[in-house]
Amino acid sequence: MNIAVCCKSVPGLVTDLKVGSDGKSLQYQSQLLAINECDEYALEEALVLKKAHGGQVTVISMGGIKSQDVLYYALAKGADKAVRVDCDSHDPRIASTVLAAALKKLEFDLVLTGTQSRDTLGGQVGVAAASLLGLPFAYAVVGIEVRDEKTIIARKELGGGRYADLELQLPALLCVQTGIEPLTFVPPARRIRARQQPVRSFSVGELGLQTEPLAPKGYRILSVRPPERLHQAELLQGSAQEIAAALLTKIRESV
């Protein structure tokens, strides 16, 4: 079984987080990029399926050259091939369009993605890519069973402790939930060796896409605001009678 795993690079340790001067973006300091948590669980599941059923695992990511560290990390974990698309965008429509075009260049039976990214929490890219590729898909998958060469059973989380088992024909796309497999540790030596492996790269033009149509459409960010503190704790001091009187006053003011 050939599996493609979409892995997004997200900021690692973030410091000096604040709203940008335009009021519509976030500014922060971060020297490291890390693999998105949900996508790492998708990668772990792909490696388990590879061990059980054979085949190859190809990881694919969008971003500049700095994001390639995430692909090296995936190779160190056990992925066989890595592909990077030189396109840096947080817009889910653009990401799904680019990833779908890149996946058409690959041979796969199954595509795994995470449910959402840690930085934007959009939860749209996997489903939108499946629609563009015309693939059957399932979201919030917590278990995968390979029935035969053309059929899988995906256990989908419904919430409230309920699940649904879906039968899908391959090729298919699954958006994997966190916790589907335990995360494994990668020794530093293996991560160093992984950097010697080749990473295939595509430009947007090589995928048959034009930059201009990829501009965000249909929505715009109006504002970004820090959390509002509506309730604050106040320590009342004084004698028992003074505290009781102050507490009674506050209760009357809040009614």
pLDDT in tens, 14-59: 777 788 888 877 777 766 788 999 999 999 999 999 999 999 999 9
Instruction: Give the pLDDT confidence score for residue 120 in this predicted structure.
Output: 81
Which pLDDT band holds residue 135 (cuts at 50, 70, 90)?
very high
Count Cβ atoms below 10 Å from residue 45 Cβ, excluding itself.
23
Q: Which two tokens stand for residue 250?
A: 């506050």
Q: Is the pLDDT of residue 143 over 80?
A: yes
pLDDT(215) > 70: no
Tell me which residue has tokens 């998708």. 42
Average pLDDT over every residue of 189-207? 93
CA distance 179 to 122: 19
pLDDT value at residue 212: 65
Map out the domains of the chain as residue ranges: 3-214
Are the CB atoms for 5 and 57 separated by under 8 Å? yes
pLDDT of residue 18: 83
Assess contact for 59 and 79: CB atoms under 8 A.
Answer: yes
Distance of alpha carbon 71 from alpha carbon 17, whole angstroms: 26
- pLDDT value, residue 52: 95
Residues with Cβ within 8 Å of 246's Cβ and at least 6 positions away in sequence, in order, are: 236, 238
pLDDT value of residue 92: 87
Q: Is pLDDT above 90 for 162?
A: yes
**Residue 184: closest CA among 78, 83, 58, 70:** 78
pLDDT at position 213: 63
- What average pLDDT does range 213-228 have in this prediction? 76
CA–CA separation, 44 and 120 (whole Å): 22
Pairing of strands 15-19, 26-29: antiparallel
Q: What is the pLDDT of residue 130?
A: 96
| Structural contact between residues 138 and 175, judged by C-beta atoms closer than 8 angstroms | yes
- Asked whether the whole model's pTM tops 0.85, one would answer no
Per-residue pLDDT reduced to its tens digit, 51-109: 999 999 999 999 989 889 999 999 999 999 999 999 988 888 889 999 999 999 999 99
Into which CATH architecture does domain 3-214 fall? 3-Layer(aba) Sandwich (3.40)
Beta 172-176 vs 162-169: how paired, if at all?
unpaired
Cβ proximity of 87 and 62 under 8 Å: yes
**Residue 85's CB: how many other CB atoms inside 10 A?**
24
The tokens describing 162, both together, are 């309920």
The pLDDT of residue 227 is: 79
| 185 neighbors 45 (Cβ within 8 angstroms) | no
